[in-house]
Amino acid sequence: MIDKIRSADRRRVGFLTSVSDRWQALPKWQKAIGVVALLVFVYSLPYLGKLPGGLMIPGLNNLRTDSIDGGNNWAGVLFVCAIYVLVAIGLNVVVGLAGLLDLGYIGFFAIGAYSVALFGSVNSPVVKWIQQEFNLPPTWAVTWGICLLIAIVLTMISGVLLGWPTLRLRGDYLAIVTLGFGEIIRIVARNATGVTNGPVGISAIPGPEGPPSADNKVFGLIDAKPWYWLAITFVLLIVILVRRLEHSRVGRAWLAVREDEDAAAVMGVYPFKFKLWAFAMGAALGGLAGFLFGSRNAFIDPTQFNANLSILFVAMVVVGGSGNMIGVSLGAVLLAYLPERFRDFADYRWLAFGLAMVLVMILRPQGLIPSRRRARELKDRAAEAEEAPAHV
């Protein structure tokens, strides 16, 4: 049975590699057509199976989450998927490329969400304090665009602050410390009532059109489609950015540090510096995702950022295939979409995520869509183990 699954899996991976080889070999104009087709598909996903004129396509319609009883708004689910893809791509920089296990990613996500809440909402104690100090009108708050900058800068700084003392530690210690960091952020958000409103949370978080109100034409509370398009635009920008980064000197340095830190250091790659870069980059992307999440939700409180989500994020990356951007995006979409579409199973989703992590790690540690380089690395280690039955 297991052998059968293994051989099927091998054939599947063989198919994937051949597809990717063929894609690489295509002439440029055909690639361009492919990319445009993909973009059109991604942007029209909210209309999947249900065209604007009220036309239904039965087969595709069943894929929508609102096709079942009590299912969530389809565009809303797509928005969450896009946010998770953003998170997965950010975490992939840290886990997949630089090989640092970050179990406190939710901390950065929370900082991103809280930066738009604290500076952008008129209900936040921070904005109220600024209004008082500078005699500003009670409707004053920092605009959305500047909040975006604040979110990215704050998360980058917190990434560096967390990374500076901890990145010199061994990898497994780092994991536990980051886990503690995620908890600290949540507890601070809950306890520092004077700054964050504590468990009460912060409402009236602005979107691109300003604070939530009935006058907003595009980014309203009800129609999630514009939010999805906004998020997916960010995802595409980030994909291009990270892709460029991956193939730059920095990206190569990350891979070198991941595969062998000492060898990298000997070759003149200063591991600490590049690890810190990876941490800051990853943190900023997590913050961006949290920022979008907070501004779509228009309300946040500390319970939305518990440690389970950090583990879900790691699960997305490792199940999808750490190191491979397509893999981690697929992992993110699967883990966000499946529990929404199959609501009967939603109670058991955490169990399923846990099982998926364990099974993937034991049976194919490189993930569903592996990065070729990572797969070779793991194969090498396994071969070494067979030659000399060594000890961990």
Chain contacts with another protein (rule: CB under 8 A) = 99, 101, 103, 165-166, 169, 171-173, 175-177, 179-181, 183-184, 187-188, 190-191, 307-308, 311, 314-315, 318, 347-348, 350-351, 353-358, 361-362, 365, 378, 381-382, 384-385, 390-392
Q: Residue 181 Cβ, how far from another protein at the closest point, in Å?
A: 7
For another protein, which is the closer residue by CB, 260 or 273? 260
Please spell the DSSP secondary structure of 221-265, one letter per residue: SS--HHHHHHHHHHHHHHHHHHHHHHTSHHHHHHHHHHH-HHHHH
Amino acid letter for position 197: N
- Cα distance between residue 229 and residue 346, in whole Å: 26
Q: Which of 329, 316, 322, 332 is nearest to 374 (CA)?
A: 322
CA–CA gap between residue 119 and residue 298 (Å, rounded)? 13
Burial class (CB in 10 A: 0-12, 13-18, 19+), 161: middle
Q: In whole angstroms, give the CA distance from residue 262 to residue 140.
A: 53
Q: Closest separation between CB of residue 30 and another protein, Å? A: 38
Nearer to another protein, 181 or 219 (CB): 181
Taking CA 235 as the corner, what is the angle to CA 275 and CA 74, rounded to the nearest 5 degrees? 135
Smallest distance, another protein to C-beta of residue 124, A = 21
Nearer to another protein, 39 or 361 (CB): 361
**103/334 with CB nearer another protein:** 103
Counting Cβ atoms within 10 Å, is residue 343 exposed (0-12), middle (13-18) or buried (19+)?
A: middle
| Smallest separation (angstroms) from another protein to the CB of 37 | 35
Task: Give the residue with the Cβ less far from another protein, 146 or 351.
Answer: 351
Please answer whether residues 100 and 167 qualify as being in contact, where contact means their C-beta atoms are separated by less than 8 angstroms.
yes
* Smallest separation, CB 384 to another protein (Å): 6
Q: Which is nearer to another protein, 14 or 354 (CB)?
A: 354
Rounded to whole angstroms, the Cα distance separating 182 from 310 reads 8
Positive or negative: CA dihedral 140, 141, 143, 146? positive
Question: Distance (Å, rounded) from C-alpha 227 to C-alpha 135?
Answer: 34
Least distance in Å: CB of 104 to another protein? 10
Q: How far is the CB of 351 from another protein (least distance, A)?
A: 4
> Rounded to whole angstroms, how far apart are CA atoms 158 and 155?
5
Instruction: Quote the least distance from Cβ 254 to another protein, whole Å.
Output: 15
CA distances from 41 to 36, 38, 45, 353 (A): 9, 5, 6, 28
- Cβ closer to another protein: 285 or 356? 356
Torsion of CA 348, 352, 355, 357, to 10 degrees: -140
Closest by Cα among 278, 253, 250 to 171: 278
CB of residue 364 vs another protein: minimum separation in angstroms? 11
Q: Which is nearer to another protein, 149 or 351 (CB)?
A: 351
Is residue 80 a contact partner of residue 312, using CB atoms and an 8 Å limit?
A: no
The least CB distance from residue 129 to another protein, in Å, is 22
Judged by beta carbon, residue 51 or residue 358, the one nearer another protein is 358
Rounded Cα distance between 98 and 276, Å, is 10
* Closer by beta carbon to another protein, 101 or else 288: 101
